[in-house]
Amino acid sequence: MTAPVLSIKGLTKAYPGVVANSDVSFEVMEGEVHALLGENGAGKSTLVKMIYGLVKPDHGSMTFQGKAYAPAEPRAARAAGVAMVFQHFSLFDALNVAENIALGMEHPPRLADLAGRIREVSETYGLPLDPFRTVGDLSAGERQRVEIIRCLLQDPRLLIMDEPTSVLTPQEVEILFQTLRKLTAEGVAILYISHKLEEIRTLCDTATILRLGKKVATCTPADTTARALAEMMVGTVLHTPERSGRALGDVALELSGLSIRSPSAFGCSLKQISLAVRQGEVLGLGGVAGNGQDELLGALSGELRSGPDMVRMHGKAIGMLGPMERRRIGLLCAPEERLGHAAAPDMSLTENAMLTGSLREGLERRGFLDWGRARGFAEAIIARFDVRTPGPGNAARSLSGGNLQKFVIGREVMQRPEVLVVNQPTWGVDASAAAAIRQALLDLAAGGTAVVVISQDLDELMEIADRFGALNEGRLSRIRPTSELNIEEIGLMMGGAHDMEVAHV
């Protein structure tokens, strides 16, 4: 663990209007886990794309295992010994594990031989996986194992992992860490990108921190605090959302025995979900992605209809109402997918303000639209939530993820909801924007709104939720006060009754 596997000198890459990386240099040693830290837009992904041959740097050089390294395409990077596990999996649901892996290979062996090698690798590194299972039936953790094994079959010297734990339960994270430690013991270097600072402190040997495309520090994460790391990333002092003591009111939203079939073949149907949220309360719903979160949001927003009595607001049955009627009575939602679901990508912010605000903001009168007021509403959201954009006439897709998220959450918050349901409110949002969004949700609750936060970020839920429940395969665990839970128990709740199965397949 002495020689650098990869060393980067003065890498610079500029896109029209923005410098993604400016003069970045660092070294990744043999057998170390090297963290790459930074907010969204700090230039992590551009940097990694340059290492993986997806993007060519404008200036600077790289050395890999002592030789000059300038991959023209990912194939060249793979041939040199660089492998990458992407945050978003590129797997075909309808094919089995071995077929999926064969698809990514240049000269795939016979499937039976490949299956043997998959078994061998999966046993060596403690990643249980049956090569003949259909990918559509796998959990997110298992899908990630497919991607990791796909990489390990190439026998890499450097493994790049982009946000690998965002889809895992705490127990699955532990299994992943054991695998990574086995790999580093064999001398493989790992470049590890994550937002989760505590995780980086336990796993990583070194951390390089990027801010606005420049390297700001290299440090040993175990020697510093998560807060200090975060402040290095942001460049300012962070403020923690405040929770003022709140008096809880009557039950605002109540689900009883809510069951809905998922409209998509690989979705997750909801099974017998019951919960109640009081005015002024924040209910946090955790769980690994794909366990019914989208369906639950759809069932609450009115995109999916249920039996009338399964959803009640202030005691009134509303399960049969559509999205408009639910907005009318004050049940507002913000879905997870910003582009294409919460907002129309090619439409302006004014038009996107109209999208959910037409009714409650009086932007519509007997079917006719008042674009002047819609523009005013969009401007108000931009001003109050500090959305960085030249103006409300700009298309939604021209905004960065975090800014659009602020707009989408702000749009619902400003409509004075009686019940607000948000799915992944701070996913892909930088630390200071995330803090602002969480504060807005807490302020709303303080004003008597019942808030339901669906999130995979457990730290977030622990920070703002009064009570916590977990979704697992479309079922909801028992809901318990956040204050009496620790991370271990939450992991068990997220895994549901089948958690051990997932771990030992």
Partner 1 sequence: MLKLEKRPQPSKAWVWLAPVVAVIATMIAGGALFALLGKDPLVAIRTIFWDPLFSEFAFFYRPQLLVKGAPLVLIAIGLSLGFRAGIWNIGAEGQYIVGALCGAGVGLAFYPMEGWFIFPLMVMAGALGGWAWAMIPAVLKVKFGTNEILVSLMLVYVAEQLLASMALGLMKNPEGFGFPGSRNLQQYPSAHNAELIAGSGMHWGVVAAMVAVIFAYVLMTRHILGFHIRLTGEAPRAARFAGVNPARLILVCLGMAGALAGMAGMFEVSGPAGRVSIDFNVGYGFTAIIVAFLGRLHPLGILLAGLLMALTYIGGEIAQSRLGLPAAAIQMFQGMLLFFLLAVDVMTNYRLRLTWREVA
Positions in the binding site for partner 1 (CB under 8 A): 16, 56, 58, 70, 72, 301-303, 322-324, 327, 333, 335, 337, 339-347, 351, 354-356, 358, 364, 367-369, 371, 394-395, 397-398
Q: Which is nearer to partner 1, 164 or 335 (CB)?
A: 335
Q: Which two tokens stand for residue 149?
A: 């094994």
Q: Which is nearer to partner 1, 169 or 352 (CB)?
A: 352
Angle between helices 401-413 and 371-384 (to 10 degrees): 110
Q: Which is nearer to partner 1, 19 or 395 (CB)?
A: 395
Residue 481 pairs in a beta bridge with 467
Q: Which is nearer to partner 1, 111 or 355 (CB)?
A: 355
Distance in Å, CB of 82 to partner 1, minimum: 17
Distance in Å, CB of 78 to partner 1, minimum: 18
What number of CA atoms fall less than 13 Å from residue 201's CA on the CB side? 12
Distance in Å, CB of 323 to partner 1, minimum: 4
Distance in Å, CB of 27 to partner 1, minimum: 22
Q: Which is nearer to partner 1, 350 or 455 (CB)?
A: 350
Q: Which two tokens stand for residue 406?
A: 């602020």
Q: Which is nearer to partner 1, 341 or 480 (CB)?
A: 341
Nearest to 168 by CA among 48, 83, 85: 85
- The answer to whether the CB of 477 falls within 8 A of the CB of 286 is no
Q: How far is it, in rounded angstroms, from Cα 216 to Cα 233?
A: 8
Q: Which is nearer to partner 1, 126 or 263 (CB)?
A: 263
Q: Which is nearer to partner 1, 133 or 397 (CB)?
A: 397
Locate all alpha helices (DSSP H) within 2-124, ordered by sequence. 44-51, 74-80, 97-103, 111-124
List phi, psi (to 5°) of 304: -115, 130
Distance in Å, CB of 343 to partner 1, minimum: 6
Query: Residues 6 or more apart from 123 whose CB is under 8 A from it?
Result: none
Helix or strand or coil: residue 185?
helix
Q: Say how many C-beta atoms besides its own lie within 10 A of residue 307's C-beta.
A: 14
Distance in Å, CB of 132 to partner 1, minimum: 32
Distance in Å, CB of 293 to partner 1, minimum: 15
Q: How far is it, in rounded angstroms, from Cα 431 to Cα 345?
A: 24
Residue the block writes with tokens 């790999």: 183
Distance in Å, CB of 124 to partner 1, minimum: 37
Largest CA distance in the chain: 73
Q: Which is nearer to partner 1, 56 or 227 (CB)?
A: 56
Distance in Å, CB of 187 to partner 1, minimum: 29
What b/e string do you get for 115-154 counting C-beta neighbours within 10 Å, with b at 16 or more? bebbbebbeebebebebeeebeebbbbbbbbbbbbbbbbe
